[in-house]
Amino acid sequence: MTRVAVDAMGGDQAPLEVVEGAILAAQDGVNTVLVGDKEQIEGILGARGDGIDVVHASQVIDFDDDPTHAVREKKDASIVVASKLVTTGDAAALVSAGSTGAAMACATFLIGRLEGVKRPGIASIYPTGHVVLDVGANIECRPEHLLQFGVLGSALARVYLHKDNPTVGLVNIGEEVSKGRDVERQAHALMAQSASINFVGNVEGRDLGTQKATVLVTDGFTGNVLLKTSEGVGRAIQAMILETLAKPEYQDAVMNLLPAFAELRERLSPETVGGAHLVGTKGVVVIAHGSSSRIAIRNAIAIADEGARHGLVAEMAAGISAAAQ
């Protein structure tokens, strides 16, 4: 059985919501270990802690700490101790809703990059069935980084979306080969001649609504804007739907469709996904949103466990090795 190390002190509502999320995950059959202030954690667990291990950590890395400096100085921080559990093999995956920078620093320097990986990236799996990366780890990228993101994103698509040969598109301002900055044009040429990905050419932001490509590759600045924009548009559309359906003439129809609306709302909720993946490291790393509720934490733990059980790291390593040949 795989085990997921959870940074119990990371997040706006930690440790309460994180511990409660771990309890829900344990009820689903996921083997978790909570890392943080043992007294606080066990106080929340109470009699519900059967099967959940607790590892004490006396320090916390705050959101306003310098990530790299804090990881070096706060050696007993919860995210550091949790990462070391993955390093030693005592856990196969890591989940944290704390500082993204600290999680990235721990994953890169403690868990370590896979051989051949130049830059770990953050990948988001959209409810539309797309993998988008990078969404914030690397503001500027070189063409070879974008190729590797295509390889790593393809591994995610195989494991989580069950796509045997996922298509990969390069996010650009047009479909033509000549479009974009130098980095996109050079990346297009590099990706087009690579046998390690199923490259379909340039795609645009609107292709999140099509099936032209399953994996959408871009730099972290563009990807983060794409992610936040799509979240905002999704909320706006939901609000407009609710405003329209609130009219008296639609009330009977709305009552009949409530189950369908509830299903759609759950599908579109960020809490359903749970978190984003930091890809390219020697362990499965899931970064949850700082404001994550217990439901989001439960789902973050679930996808981390799924990735560990289905060999996500091995898939990524094999893809990077094949791309280097």
In the chain, what are the domains? 1-115+280-310 (3.40.718.10), 118-275 (3.40.718.10)
DSSP classification of residue 251: H
What separation in angstroms does the CA of 235 have from each of 117, 232, 238? 35, 5, 5
- Res 241 pLDDT > 80: yes
- Res 129 pLDDT > 80: yes
DSSP state letters, 229-249: HHHHHHHHHHHHHHHHHTSGG
Angle 98-205-100 from CA coordinates, rounded to 5°: 10
Distance CA 280, CA 119 (A): 7
- Res 32 pLDDT > 80: yes
Give the bridge partners for 199, in sequence order.
168
33: left (phi over 0), alpha (psi -120 to 50) or beta: beta
Distance CA 26, CA 48 (A): 10
Element (H, E) at 28: none
Q: Which of 72, 84, 78 shows the shortest CA–CA distance to 60?
A: 78
- Res 1 pLDDT > 80: no
What separation in angstroms does the CA of 251 have from each of 9, 161, 258, 261? 45, 37, 10, 13
Is 325 exposed, middle or buried, given 0-12, 13-18 or 19+ CB atoms closer than 10 A?
A: exposed
Tell the residue number behind the tokens 């503001």, with chain if given.
139
Collapse the DSSP code of 53 into the 3-class scheme (helix H, G, I; strand E, B; otherwise coil) and give the result: strand
pTM of the entire structure?
0.92
Strongest mean pLDDT among 100-109, 165-174, 238-247: 165-174
* Segment 302-315 mean pLDDT: 96
